Amino acid sequence: MSETILQVKNIYKEFLSKGVCVKAVTDVSFNIREGETVGIVGESGCGKTTLGRCIVRGIQATKGAVLYRAADGREYDFLKIDKNVMKTIRKEIQMIFQDPYASLDPRMTVYDIISEPLRANFRLPKAEQDARVMDIAQKVGLNTAFLRRYPHAFSGGQRQRIGIARALVLMPRLIVCDEAVSALDVSIQAQIINLLIDLQKDLHLTYIFISHDLSVVEHISDRVGVMYLGKLVEYASTEQIFLHPAHPYTEALLSAVPVADPDVKTDRIPLEGEIPNPANPPAGCYFHDRCRYCTDICRHEVPAYTDTGNSHFVACHRAAELHLRSSIPVIVQEGRS
Per-residue confidence band for 331, with pLDDT thresholds at 50, 70 and 90? very low
Least confident of 20-24, 48-52, 69-73, 330-334: 330-334
Mean pLDDT of 107-127: 94
Task: State the Cα–Cα distance between residues 60 and 63, nearest whole angstrom.
Answer: 9
Q: Report yes or no: 54 and 27 within 8 Å, Cβ to Cβ.
A: no
Please report the pLDDT score of residue 205 as a whole number: 95
Per-residue confidence band for 334, with pLDDT thresholds at 50, 70 and 90? very low
Please report the pLDDT score of residue 255 as a whole number: 86
Angle at 195 (CA atoms; ends 189, 201), nearest 5 degrees: 140
Please report the pLDDT score of residue 327 as a whole number: 41
Please report the pLDDT score of residue 337 as a whole number: 38
Please report the pLDDT score of residue 322 as a whole number: 64
Whether pLDDT at 330 is above 70: no
Please report the pLDDT score of residue 332 as a whole number: 42
Secondary structure (3-state) at 139: helix
Whether pLDDT at 167 is above 90: yes
Mean pLDDT of 253-267: 76
Least confident of 10-19, 101-110, 149-158, 313-322: 313-322
Tens-digit pLDDT profile for residues 168-213: 999 999 999 998 888 778 888 888 899 999 999 999 999 999 998 8
Task: State the Cα–Cα distance between residues 131 and 128, nearest whole angstrom.
Answer: 5
Whether pLDDT at 102 is above 60: yes
Task: State the Cα–Cα distance between residues 9 and 149, nearest whole angstrom.
Answer: 43
Residue 323 backbone dihedrals phi, psi, to 5 degrees:
50, 65
Task: State the Cα–Cα distance between residues 94 and 167, nearest whole angstrom.
Answer: 6
Q: Report yes or no: 159 and 104 within 8 Å, Cβ to Cβ.
A: yes
Angle at 190 (CA atoms; ends 184, 194), nearest 5 degrees: 125
Per-residue confidence band for 1, with pLDDT thresholds at 50, 70 and 90? low
Mean pLDDT of 134-162: 93
In the chain, what percentage of residues exceed pLDDT 70?
93
Q: For the chain, what is the mean pLDDT?
A: 89
Please report the pLDDT score of residue 12 as a whole number: 96
Whether pLDDT at 323 is above 70: no
Taking the C-alpha atoms of 327, 328, 331 and 336 in order, what is their torsion angle to the nearest 10 degrees? -80
Angle at 264 (CA atoms; ends 258, 267), nearest 5 degrees: 70
The residue type of 7 is: Q
Whether pLDDT at 262 is above 80: no
The residue type of 32 is: I
